[in-house]
Amino acid sequence: MISSVPTKREKQRSRSYVGDDMSFQTMGFDELEKELMALGDIADVAPAMLEAAAPILEKELKSRVKAEADKGYAKGDLALSIKANKPGENHLGHYVSITAKGRDRKGIRNNEKLAYLDLGTQKQGARPVISKAVKNAEQGCLKAMQDKFDEVTGG
Protein backbone atom coordinates (compact mmCIF):
# COMPACT_ATOMS: atom_id res chain seq x y z
CA MET A 1 0.00 0.00 0.00
CA ILE A 2 1.39 3.34 -1.02
CA SER A 3 0.68 6.32 1.18
CA SER A 4 1.68 9.89 0.69
CA VAL A 5 2.11 12.70 3.13
CA PRO A 6 -0.18 15.59 2.25
CA THR A 7 1.50 18.86 1.38
CA LYS A 8 0.74 22.11 3.15
CA ARG A 9 -1.43 23.21 0.23
CA GLU A 10 -3.41 19.94 0.26
CA LYS A 11 -4.02 20.30 4.00
CA GLN A 12 -5.32 23.84 3.50
CA ARG A 13 -7.60 22.69 0.68
CA SER A 14 -8.95 19.79 2.74
CA ARG A 15 -9.80 22.10 5.64
CA SER A 16 -11.73 24.49 3.48
CA TYR A 17 -13.55 21.84 1.44
CA VAL A 18 -17.28 21.61 1.93
CA GLY A 19 -18.93 18.71 0.14
CA ASP A 20 -22.21 18.84 -1.77
CA ASP A 21 -24.11 17.31 1.14
CA MET A 22 -22.68 19.67 3.78
CA SER A 23 -23.35 23.36 4.09
CA PHE A 24 -24.12 25.96 6.72
CA GLN A 25 -25.75 29.32 6.86
CA THR A 26 -25.12 32.24 9.16
CA MET A 27 -28.75 33.26 9.36
CA GLY A 28 -29.53 35.27 12.45
CA PHE A 29 -26.04 36.55 13.07
CA ASP A 30 -26.98 40.08 12.06
CA GLU A 31 -29.78 40.10 14.63
CA LEU A 32 -27.46 38.76 17.32
CA GLU A 33 -24.82 41.32 16.43
CA LYS A 34 -27.37 44.15 16.66
CA GLU A 35 -28.55 42.89 20.06
CA LEU A 36 -25.00 42.65 21.42
CA MET A 37 -24.12 46.10 20.09
CA ALA A 38 -27.22 47.50 21.81
CA LEU A 39 -25.94 46.19 25.15
CA GLY A 40 -22.87 48.36 24.95
CA ASP A 41 -19.68 47.41 26.71
CA ILE A 42 -19.80 44.16 28.71
CA ALA A 43 -17.57 45.89 31.27
CA ASP A 44 -20.69 47.78 32.39
CA VAL A 45 -22.77 44.62 32.94
CA ALA A 46 -20.24 42.03 34.20
CA PRO A 47 -19.43 43.59 37.60
CA ALA A 48 -23.12 43.84 38.49
CA MET A 49 -23.64 40.20 37.51
CA LEU A 50 -20.66 39.08 39.59
CA GLU A 51 -21.81 41.11 42.59
CA ALA A 52 -25.18 39.36 42.38
CA ALA A 53 -23.58 35.90 42.39
CA ALA A 54 -20.83 36.45 44.99
CA PRO A 55 -23.05 36.27 48.12
CA ILE A 56 -24.41 32.89 47.03
CA LEU A 57 -20.96 31.35 46.70
CA GLU A 58 -19.77 33.09 49.89
CA LYS A 59 -22.66 31.61 51.89
CA GLU A 60 -22.06 28.12 50.48
CA LEU A 61 -18.32 28.25 51.18
CA LYS A 62 -18.94 29.39 54.75
CA SER A 63 -21.34 26.52 55.35
CA ARG A 64 -18.89 23.99 53.88
CA VAL A 65 -16.04 25.31 56.02
CA LYS A 66 -18.22 25.21 59.15
CA ALA A 67 -19.19 21.61 58.44
CA GLU A 68 -15.63 20.42 57.78
CA ALA A 69 -13.67 22.53 60.25
CA ASP A 70 -16.00 22.20 63.23
CA LYS A 71 -14.54 19.06 64.73
CA GLY A 72 -14.57 20.22 68.34
CA TYR A 73 -11.43 22.34 68.34
CA ALA A 74 -12.39 25.07 65.86
CA LYS A 75 -13.90 28.30 67.09
CA GLY A 76 -15.58 29.25 63.78
CA ASP A 77 -13.16 32.08 63.01
CA LEU A 78 -12.23 30.63 59.63
CA ALA A 79 -15.82 30.57 58.37
CA LEU A 80 -16.44 34.10 59.68
CA SER A 81 -13.36 35.38 57.85
CA ILE A 82 -14.66 34.35 54.40
CA LYS A 83 -15.55 37.42 52.36
CA ALA A 84 -16.11 38.29 48.71
CA ASN A 85 -13.73 40.72 47.06
CA LYS A 86 -14.91 43.37 44.62
CA PRO A 87 -15.22 42.23 41.00
CA GLY A 88 -12.13 42.77 38.92
CA GLU A 89 -10.86 42.35 35.39
CA ASN A 90 -7.66 40.86 34.03
CA HIS A 91 -6.40 39.53 30.70
CA LEU A 92 -8.75 36.52 31.01
CA GLY A 93 -11.90 38.58 31.62
CA HIS A 94 -14.02 39.61 34.57
CA TYR A 95 -13.88 37.75 37.88
CA VAL A 96 -14.78 37.86 41.55
CA SER A 97 -12.97 35.97 44.29
CA ILE A 98 -14.23 34.73 47.62
CA THR A 99 -11.53 34.01 50.16
CA ALA A 100 -10.66 33.97 53.85
CA LYS A 101 -9.24 37.28 55.03
CA GLY A 102 -7.17 38.35 58.01
CA ARG A 103 -5.40 36.33 60.68
CA ASP A 104 -6.57 34.21 63.59
CA ARG A 105 -5.78 34.74 67.28
CA LYS A 106 -2.40 33.04 66.86
CA GLY A 107 -1.39 35.16 63.87
CA ILE A 108 -1.91 32.48 61.22
CA ARG A 109 -3.42 33.77 57.97
CA ASN A 110 -6.96 32.53 57.48
CA ASN A 111 -6.42 32.08 53.75
CA GLU A 112 -3.54 29.74 54.56
CA LYS A 113 -5.78 27.74 56.91
CA LEU A 114 -8.42 27.52 54.18
CA ALA A 115 -5.80 26.11 51.80
CA TYR A 116 -4.70 23.55 54.43
CA LEU A 117 -8.31 22.52 55.01
CA ASP A 118 -9.02 22.22 51.29
CA LEU A 119 -5.79 20.56 50.14
CA GLY A 120 -4.64 18.85 53.31
CA THR A 121 -1.17 18.63 54.85
CA GLN A 122 1.21 15.81 55.68
CA LYS A 123 -0.72 15.20 58.90
CA GLN A 124 -4.23 16.24 57.86
CA GLY A 125 -6.24 14.75 55.04
CA ALA A 126 -7.71 16.95 52.34
CA ARG A 127 -11.29 18.11 52.79
CA PRO A 128 -12.17 19.73 49.45
CA VAL A 129 -14.49 22.47 50.66
CA ILE A 130 -13.85 24.89 47.78
CA SER A 131 -14.74 22.56 44.90
CA LYS A 132 -17.83 21.32 46.75
CA ALA A 133 -18.96 24.87 47.45
CA VAL A 134 -18.47 25.88 43.81
CA LYS A 135 -20.38 22.84 42.59
CA ASN A 136 -23.27 23.37 45.02
CA ALA A 137 -23.54 27.11 44.37
CA GLU A 138 -23.16 26.94 40.59
CA GLN A 139 -26.85 26.85 39.65
CA GLY A 140 -27.77 29.57 42.13
CA CYS A 141 -24.96 31.79 40.88
CA LEU A 142 -25.92 31.26 37.25
CA LYS A 143 -29.54 32.12 38.01
CA ALA A 144 -28.56 35.25 39.96
CA MET A 145 -26.28 36.39 37.14
CA GLN A 146 -28.95 35.72 34.51
CA ASP A 147 -31.54 37.63 36.55
CA LYS A 148 -29.16 40.58 36.95
CA PHE A 149 -28.32 40.47 33.23
CA ASP A 150 -32.01 40.55 32.35
CA GLU A 151 -32.58 43.39 34.80
CA VAL A 152 -29.70 45.50 33.49
CA THR A 153 -30.40 44.85 29.81
CA GLY A 154 -34.16 45.00 30.07
CA GLY A 155 -34.49 41.39 28.89
Which tens digits make up the pLDDT trace of 56-75?
999 999 999 999 887 755 67
Cα–Cα distance measured from residue 25 to residue 75, given in angstroms and rounded to the nearest whole number? 61
Cα–Cα distance measured from residue 136 to residue 103, given in angstroms and rounded to the nearest whole number? 27
Instruction: State the SS3 of 101-112.
Output: CCECCCCCEHHH
CA-CA-CA-CA dihedral for 16, 17, 19, 25, to nearest 10: 20
> What proportion of the chain, given as a percentage, has pLDDT over 70?
71
CA-closest candidate to residue 113, choices 65, 63, 60: 65
Which residues, at least 6 apart from 81, have a Cβ–Cβ distance to it below 8 Å? 100, 101, 102, 104, 110
Cα–Cα distance measured from residue 56 to residue 64, given in angstroms and rounded to the nearest whole number? 13
Read off φ and ψ for residue 135, nearest 5 degrees. -65, -45
* pTM for this model (two decimals): 0.72
> What proportion of the chain, given as a percentage, has pLDDT over 90?
49
pLDDT of residue 22: 47
